[in-house]
């Protein structure tokens, strides 16, 4: 079973997204956060669940699509590191993937 870790970038992303959603619908901000954490939990058992991120062409950088958002993660041995949660309509800045901590 893989261990899940979160970068500060990914946690900041979720917080920002939830705050944005909560402006119009506070309950849905909480629902979104729950859905993200539920989706990520599946990666403990199935770390290869997501597809490789097309922009990187690296098999260890993968993503799960959740509605309009991309949950992007990296597989490092027995660890799944959540790198960012990114709106799919925006261009992906690859520096968000490789400068995460």
**CA atoms within a 13 Å half-sphere pointing along the CA-CB vector of 76:** 10
Mean pLDDT of 20-24: 93
Domains of the chain: 3-98 (3.30.2310.20)
pLDDT for the residue 13 = 95
Could you tell me the end-to-end alpha-carbon distance of the chain, in angstroms, rounded to an integer?
22
Q: What's the pLDDT score for residue 81?
A: 97
The 10 Å Cβ neighbour count of residue 96 is 16
Using DSSP's 3-state secondary structure scheme, residue 93 falls into: coil
DSSP state, 92? Answer: P
Residue-wise pLDDT tens digits, 57-96: 899 999 999 999 999 999 999 999 999 999 988 877 776 6
Q: What is the per-residue pLDDT for 71?
A: 97
Q: Which residue has the higher pLDDT, 100 or 18?
A: 18
């Amino acid at each position: 079973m893989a261990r899940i870790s979160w970068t500060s970038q990914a946690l900041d992303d979720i917080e920002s997204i939830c705050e944005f959603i909560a402006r119009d619908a506070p309950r849905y901000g909480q629902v979104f956060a729950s859905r993200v954490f539920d989706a990520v939990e599946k990666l403990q058992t199935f770390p290869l669940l997501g597809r490789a991120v097309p922009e990187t062409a690296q098999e260890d950088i993968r993503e799960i699509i959740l509605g309009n958002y991309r949950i992007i993660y990296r597989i490092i041995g027995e660890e799944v590191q959540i790198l960012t949660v990114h709106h799919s309509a925006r261009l992906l800045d690859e520096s968000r993937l490789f400068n995460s901590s």
